[in-house]
Amino acid sequence: MKTHFIKKPLKNKVIKPFKKKVKRAKKKKVIVFGAKNNFYKVVWGQSRVLMENEELASKFIKKSIWNNYAFFSKKIISVRPKVAIYKSRKLARNATVEESRILVNNLINRVQKLDQKNKLAYKVWYETLDVHAFKEFWQLLDTKAIQHINDILASTKLPVTGAHGDLHHKNILVSDTMHKYLIDWEYFRINGSLITDILRFNSWLVRKKYSKINPLYSPKILMNYKPHSFLNYRFNNDIYKLSLLTAISNTCMPGASKSVNTRTKLFLRHLHENI
């Protein structure tokens, strides 16, 4: 690993605040600092592994449907073997929900055009999810749940477009020129599908209507949103199938086994209430 010289301005803006806050952020693994025109992100442990995944995503994005919508941080320094600092320029503001909808619809339109030209590869639905999270999820299911999922989603295939992995309006920023960008690509999957991203995005919108409960793992509640016409076409207007896949996508978010375990228990509780 190369030895980097830490310039004084960077040392004052990043290293000193990092040392002060690290004791209070041992579990978080990420600290973000703002300067006049830039953001600095200090990462360590598992978070550094995720940021390396973002670096891989930046190489894939240029030739994908995500091109022109992706915004990445750039690694500028390695403080020590397990700690790195990333830098990105500031964007004007967070996108509104309506602006986020526009970006999502633009992405769907890109997929739809490729689909019409037969330029998309398709995979069985579970092959587009995070491998480790899905394995953990599947091992926790009981026989009744497995049978139900197989009956509903047996022949379902999704287009392989690459998946952001954490698509919601808080991860969409707007520049001074009103261009919309997606940030935080740590959970990007090359073999993933935009479809699961869109389903998760829609479920977050549904969640706004249910402040007292968490509907992200409930197929019954998730049936309340109106999916894009392309999704209806691909799923033969089967709203329950879409809702079940949405709940599974939310459950199989990449993360620690403990988190997947907790989400799976919620999913099973909601599922058994409906079957």
Q: Supply the mean pLDDT for the chain.
A: 80
26-79 pLDDT, tens digit per residue, is 455 666 666 667 777 777 666 666 777 788 888 888 889 998 999 887 776 665
Residue 107 to residue 100: CA distance in whole angstroms: 11
- Provide the domain count of the chain: 2
The domain that holds 154 is classified in CATH as: 3.90.1200
Non-local CB neighbours of 234 within 8 Å, separated by 6+ positions: 195
124-139 pLDDT, tens digit per residue, is 999 999 999 999 999 9
**Quick one: 72 and 193 in the same domain?**
no
Three-state SS string across 197-249, please?
HHHHHHHHHHHCCCCCCCHHHCHHHHCCCCCCHHHHHHCCCCHHHHHHHHHHH
Residue ranges making up the domain that contains 199 = 93-274
Non-local CB neighbours of 104 within 8 Å, separated by 6+ positions: 167, 198, 201
**The predicted structure's pLDDT at residue 8:** 45
**Quick one: 106 and 237 in the same domain?**
yes
**Quick one: 98 and 61 in the same domain?**
no
**The predicted structure's pLDDT at residue 212:** 54
**The predicted structure's pLDDT at residue 6:** 38
Query: In the predicted model, is pLDDT for residue 173 greater than 80?
Result: yes
Q: Is residue 19 part of a domain?
A: yes
Cα angle at 79 between 20 and 3, to 5 degrees? 150
